[in-house]
Amino acid sequence: MALRINDEAPNFTAKTTQGTINFHEWIGDSWAILFSHPKDFTPVCTTELGYMAQLEPEFRKRNCKIIGLSIDPVESHTAWCKDIEETQGCAVNYPLIADDELKVAKLYNMLPADEPGTSEGRTAATNATVRTVFIIGPDKRIKLMLTYPMATGRNFDEILRVLDSMQLTSKHKVATPVNWKSGEDVIISPAVSDEEAKAMFPQGWKTLKPYLRVVPSPK
């Protein structure tokens, strides 16, 4: 069954570059980002994991852990991390899951469609995990899902932006508009009446339409 937003993130136990983990226990009281890449020692993936290594301190500031995954074994991950540090200038300090039995990939629908006409199961090409991203909340519920094609590197600055939005909107009855960045004005939720809004936002707001009320971002 396909996963949906607000579903509980499937739990699993897996080998990683930092030892065996139980996923839900590893998340603990944090937010978490689980992202897959097609294969170790490939060019686009090298740039992606290097950039995530650079961003890892920013995610940590937001109480968010990151963890990568492909179907390669731990030994491959460990060797490849040396290449990532050499070429991208940043060491990979977050764990990488070795999903060599495809258990997590199948739980999270990370595999591409089977090749047409194949009768003997998955091939080497269809075993590679596509570029998926899941953001999971401290409640272990899925908050975001993204899937990218094999040849297109992801924009992980966008993932950080979305995390900022979700953490803000989980605390306050607001939504963030198109292209919003942390600190910019937000929108009062339509579920909040003007009377309620007066108590919540005593500084006032700008009404563009009754359903579109703009207010400075809560601190």
Euclidean distance between CA atoms 118 and 94, whole angstroms: 36
The reply to whether 81 belongs to the active site is no
pLDDT at 133 over 70: yes
Please report, for the chain, how many H helices and E strands are present, in that order.
Answer: 7, 11
| The CATH number fitting domain 13-153, selected from 3.40.30.10, 3.40.190.10, 3.40.50.460, 1.10.287.70 | 3.40.30.10
The pLDDT score that the predictor gives to residue 39 is 93
| Topology adopted by domain 172-215 | Antioxidant, Horf6; Chain A, domain 2 (3.30.1020)
Active-site residue, selected from the candidate residues 45, 64, 81, 90: 45
Say if residues 156 and 48 touch (Cβ distance below 8 Å): yes
pLDDT in tens, 52-91: 999 999 999 999 999 999 999 999 999 999 999 999 999 9
pLDDT in tens, 3-48: 999 999 999 999 999 999 999 999 999 999 999 999 999 999 999 9
- Which residue ranges does the chain devote to CATH 3.40.30.10? 13-153
- Which residue ranges does the chain devote to CATH 3.30.1020.10? 172-215
Euclidean distance between CA atoms 141 and 65, whole angstroms: 15
Euclidean distance between CA atoms 154 and 131, whole angstroms: 8
Alpha carbon 194 to its chain centroid, in Å, reads 35
